[in-house]
Amino acid sequence: MRLRAVITAAAFVAIAIGSFQPMYLRIFAMNGDVLRAAYTELPYRRIPGLRKLLVDASARMPSGATVALWVPFREWEGGYGYAFRRAPFLMPDKRVVPIDRVNDAQYLVCWHGCPRVIGFATIWRSPEGELMRR
């Protein structure tokens, strides 16, 4: 019985150690502003500047506008999907369409500059990218 109690205690200790999340204690000693900034960029880190570009561009379009997104990656799994899946969250009041439906779009947001697109003209530019309007 005593051996069983010891093994049980050891098992409980192992479970507790294994499930413990030190982050929940460490976080009290961390700089909140730095952590907030890092977490804010974290989901968009593979395309630096994408978050800022989409937030800034969204502020320059009317609510309800249809906008296509251009990034220099054509394959869905090769980068385009990464950007496209994140865009609607950053522009919730816009209708974001993929680049192959650019004909439906009134606006075009391009990460790091737009290609020449017939019928669209640049209305705003930043270090992160460009916004074009039909």
Partner 1 sequence: MIAAIITALLAIAAGLPFSRRLGEAYLLGVGIQAAILCILPWSRPIVIAAIILECGALAPLWLRRYESGSKLPHSIIDLATLGLIAGYARFATIASPTEIDYICIWGLKAEKFWVAHGIDWNFLAQPFNAFAHPDYPLLVPLAYDFQALVGGAWIDRWAGALSIGCGIAALLIIRSELRGWIGALAALILMPLVFSPYVGDAEGPLIAYSIAAILPLRRRENITRCAVFLGLAASCKNEGLTLIVAVAIALMISGAKQLVPKLWPAVAIPFPWLIISRLHHLRSDFAEGGLIGRIVEHVTNPAPMLQAMAAYSPGRVIFWIGLVVALAIGWRRVVGEERFLASVIALQLIAFIVAYVITPHDVSWHVRWSWERLVLQVTALTTFLAIVAARP
110 φ, ψ (degrees, to nearest 5): -125, 130
How is residue 69 written in tokens? 């997104």
Q: How far is the CB of 117 from partner 1 (least distance, A)?
A: 19
Per-position DSSP letters for 32-64, written without gaps between them: HHHHHHHHHHGGGTTSTTHHHHHHHHHTTS-TT
Q: How far is the CB of 112 from partner 1 (least distance, A)?
A: 21
Q: How far is the CB of 64 from partner 1 (least distance, A)?
A: 9
Binding site residues, partner 1, CB under 8 A:
4-5, 7-8, 10-21, 23-28, 32, 35-36, 39-40, 42-43, 63, 81, 84-86, 88-89, 92-93, 95, 97-98, 101
Nearer to partner 1, 25 or 118 (CB): 25
Nearer to partner 1, 1 or 116 (CB): 1
Burial 74-89 (b: 16+ CB within 10 A, else e): eeeeebbebbbebbbe
